[in-house]
Structure 1
């Protein structure tokens, strides 16, 4: 690499990192703005603001019913307006990064964010992080377009905005960067991860400067797990791995049910708000993202039946909110469900296993991380997030064990994930694996231009007249491949007026003139052969000491197979776009 190229590469790297800093600041400020807007809506509607479950407890029963109904109706109208006019640009940041050119629709982005704002501000049991991350990514896309950044760098800047959003929303810069790298980009390559880390770190620093950073579940004095006690977290991982796909499938079932009612979108969200309000009359603690209940599970004793009741109520509240079509994330509700599930498993194990001296809150924390990792299909992100949320290094070992086990169990049991892009990427990888391992024996066709080695030259000439080919394959009496006779060689014989009557094909054949294939070759290997071959077909030989001619593979058949697989990939991507649009 020349000095000029090195300087150009260094300049590009500095430029990208510099804009990552800007995306971090802009992302953090957009999260702060969302928080303030959410509290403003609460004050306008209820006269108070703060954690929505605390606000809900202070309201009368009829206001608990009315507030989520109003929020659902307004959110539905905003979402209906967003979907009323289609845009050529993406309306989801994951779609913009993975499938698009980094451009996000400003109109749809703002309307979707406002819709989510009214849902979470009025008690919707859904994660506010979805709208926050989208808003941060939208700001990054707007800045990139304003600066006329190219598509490749614009996608990276939008990804930086997403990482900054996660970092600012949760106070987790490492997990914020890995979230986008692991889930959205599907790679931990430092060329992509570096800018994400910078953006996430700057966002976290910005939140500290404005004075609103605080570890969500800080527990620095967590007891270390030693010796064989680690087995309980293997068991916890297995149980969580079974439960997490069920939670996600339940969300899908409720979505499908609401859609089948045929109710218009804005009324559908209002109906969801009414049903949620009826639940909040009895259990106001299931409003919002569940932060206060998780804190109580960590620091207060709970009877097992209270945990069960709260778990079922929260899952139902989330299913009603998500199922009605509300915009937001189930990221935070997944942490809640994991906390309650971990607490229940811990209570059970501590009661039946004598001598087990693990504190209950450790099960709660590990359950959160394991459930999040299994639901998102991003175990590394989940491990880092719980570590940063708690600032407890002692938590890491049991967290690794349970989260990784839960991830693999969940993937074995069901093809379901919190984010469609994860499923599409896995499906694409399976299709590519199929491409790599598909064998040529599926494409072998009979060879029509075959002659015995004792055939006359005139027979080969007649075959060239009958078939538009450049080579005739030559075999012996036992069908063992001998080589090919090239049309150009026979043409040369005729031009030189040589006597061909006494010659047989054995006299003019070329044994190694064309490359040969075997039936167990992969499509990739066969493609490499065709790249350097100008003809349309290649012979396929058996894998024996004296290889027999089995047939031919046509270049067009190979290309058709590739096209079919590419069509499957495109269909998978379209499905991802459709699903993300519906959600």
Structure 2
């Protein structure tokens, strides 16, 4: 990035950060009301821009050049059936050419925009919520419009989710939010983008909390997601001029009897099987393309040719497929479609999406999943109708319930998808049948998921996995824990000079600052060494990782644990409001902070009981503890060995843990037992009465 552009970006970041500097310290409701509105506005504008580009791309690429016009939905220009193929030979060329143009754009400008986007946003929530680059949003928008607009089988929710999640990440960096708040910002970005593009604000809001885990909810993200999603929906509708459901108001169905639920149980089982097939086929195709020894930009083009050819036989696979689902909501239209085509459409859509997106193309897999489910529901109704067993009311409830059951199960977001489809069809009448279907679909799907970045529960989150073993520490400020930076690199250093400085200081990395001392990013020695060996001749400022995790001075030990656990190098810089480096927090600093937190907790316990004390002693070489296992020592009956701190780090004590000279041992015991504990650890203990209540 040119120096002037970098300086301008840093200046904007500082000014915005100063303007909103009090936001991160505000109360939960005030903070997320403001941040949610900001994220929602950008998400709504981004979704409106993308849908405009997508419609224009589809009209020109597939319509004007390819000679084929896809079916449309009620809420997007009115119901219109697909046209015939005026130039059949042109469709595969257009689909392949659009995929090639999109792949080249991604390859040269933002490789992380490859694929379906939502998985990348989920991964950012768990790993590095500040790590999404701003340029990814623009590249994702254009490349997805090219891929889907030329006939590639993909959804539009992935691009909008990544666009709005990227803004949440950029906002987190600009305001230097804590990692926990940054995760919420990215999750609410996912929610607002999807809620806007599907015109389903409530479903989108719940999706922001539900999608990041397979068997859990990100509860903290629910309220921010509600704010950002409804704002995005309002902005999107105001810009596009439409607030109506995508598939129109489908309100004619009424559940007549309990027996009808059996029909939807069949839909649920079928959609569960189809969901498993979708996930397996998609990732098997993706892995196969990954092993294919061809240029990355060429693979989507080859897949596009195949998808275009498949579309000549089964037109419903081209583009998003929503128009095809709109057609299948009508009984007379569905009956008029050849039976073989109705039955094969779900499989064909799986194949087309796996090729278009699994090859490295740009687009979403959320929308195709609902199309696959809707087509499965239509196939079930068609078979029942053929046997004169279909209930009155037509295929509409089967198609809608199929949309919910298939993708709600394979994405492990049943509640969100139920609400979204209800909003997309303007009907709540199908919720009871949908609940039956999705429960059975979830049983069939099991632990399989369409999103590889999903974690099972919050306990599996890298930050929470670490902090769950630590005592609560919101009362310990990071300023009490951080250490002065051993090295701060000027941006003007060359790569070789920066690497030499890192090696001389014997540090794994260091923050990089500009001439005014403003933080630019972080440099990591291992990665920098690779770049120097590759002959990279540039300045440290250009190589610095601008998306690296940082902490504000107002952060607590909890925030530091969160940040270090998910950082790339095991250390995180601490910045003030003006983005100047004030310190560095590493794993060893967390241990010191943990001891402070533990002491604080024990003090509170001591004040409450009046009889508890914390004994911390270093094991002497001649003491009883030196060389002994913990279970071999004669501990007082009520003593609790809390931790053993060694030079290598913190050791969690077990009965067979062997103590040695130099170990710092922390023991909680009653006041009258303190001397007995010291006699085990120290060769000549000094009697000190230091109850926690007196400290």
Fold in common (TM above 0.5): yes
- Is the contact between residue 530 and residue 555 of structure 1 (CA under 8 Å) also seen in structure 2? no
Within a 5 Å distance, the mapping from 1:159-198 to structure 2 comes to: 159-184=187-212, 188=217, 191-198=220-227
Counterpart of 1:34? 50
Residues 207 and 110 of structure 1: is their aligned pair in 2 closer, same or farther, counting only changes over 3 Å? closer
CA distance in 2, matches of 1:221, 1:69: 41
Within a 5 Å distance, the mapping from 1:284-323 to structure 2 comes to: 284-299=315-330, 300-302=333-335, 303-323=338-358
Residues 534 and 71 of structure 1: is their aligned pair in 2 closer, same or farther, counting only changes over 3 Å? closer
CA distance in 2, matches of 1:251, 1:350: 31
Counterpart of 1:207? 236
Q: 2:421 aligns with which of 381, 386, 391?
A: 386
1:530 counterpart = 2:641: yes
Counterpart of 1:469? 628
Residues 231 and 555 of structure 1: is their aligned pair in 2 closer, same or farther, counting only changes over 3 Å? farther
CA distance in 1, matches of 2:24, 2:290: 53
- The alpha-carbon deviation at position 143 of structure 1 amounts to 4.0
CA distance in 2, matches of 1:384, 1:225: 22
SS class of match (2:454): helix
Q: 1:53 aligns with which of 36, 57, 70?
A: 70
Counterpart of 2:408? 373
Residues 51 and 396 of structure 1: is their aligned pair in 2 closer, same or farther, counting only changes over 3 Å? farther
Moved more, 13-22 or 348-357: 348-357
SS class of match (1:531): strand
- The alpha-carbon deviation at position 133 of structure 1 amounts to 1.5
Within a 5 Å distance, the mapping from 1:66-81 to structure 2 comes to: 66-81=93-108
Moved more, 33-42 or 384-393: 33-42
Residues 382 and 468 of structure 1: is their aligned pair in 2 closer, same or farther, counting only changes over 3 Å? same
Counterpart of 2:680? none
CA distance in 2, matches of 1:85, 1:189: 24
Greater CA radius of gyration, 1 or 2? 1
- Is the contact between residue 164 and residue 193 of structure 2 (CA under 8 Å) also seen in structure 1? yes
CA distance in 2, matches of 1:343, 1:472: 67
Q: 1:141 aligns with which of 123, 145, 169?
A: 169
Residues 377 and 534 of structure 1: is their aligned pair in 2 closer, same or farther, counting only changes over 3 Å? closer
- The alpha-carbon deviation at position 513 of structure 1 amounts to 3.5
Show CA shifts across 1:196-242 (max 9, x none). Answer: 00111111122232313330123022222422321222232223222
| Equivalent pairs, count | 456
CA distance in 2, matches of 1:394, 1:111: 40
- Is the contact between residue 276 and residue 321 of structure 1 (CA under 8 Å) also seen in structure 2? yes
More helix by share: 1
Structure 2: state its 5+ residue gaps. Answer: 1-22, 72-81, 470-621, 660-695
Residues 155 and 320 of structure 1: is their aligned pair in 2 closer, same or farther, counting only changes over 3 Å? same
SS class of match (1:530): strand
CA distance in 1, matches of 2:30, 2:456: 33
Name the TM-score, length of structure 1 as normaliser: 0.69
SS class of match (2:453): helix
- The alpha-carbon deviation at position 113 of structure 1 amounts to 3.3
Show CA shifts across 1:414-461 (max 9, x none). Answer: x421111225549939x98xx99xxxxxxxxxxxxxxxxxxxxxxxxx
Counterpart of 2:550? none
Q: 2:657 aligns with which of 534, 551, 554?
A: 554
CA distance in 1, matches of 2:326, 2:92: 25
Show CA shifts across 1:167-210 (max 9, x none). Answer: 11101011101111101267546542111001111111222323
SS class of match (1:279): helix
Within a 5 Å distance, the mapping from 1:96-115 to structure 2 comes to: 96-115=124-143
- The alpha-carbon deviation at position 267 of structure 1 amounts to 0.8
Within a 5 Å distance, the mapping from 1:375-524 to structure 2 comes to: 375-411=410-446, 415-423=447-455, 425=457, 428=460, 468-469=627-628, 513=637
- The alpha-carbon deviation at position 33 of structure 1 amounts to 0.7
SS class of match (1:227): coil
Residues 314 and 354 of structure 1: is their aligned pair in 2 closer, same or farther, counting only changes over 3 Å? closer
Name the TM-score, length of structure 2 as normaliser: 0.59
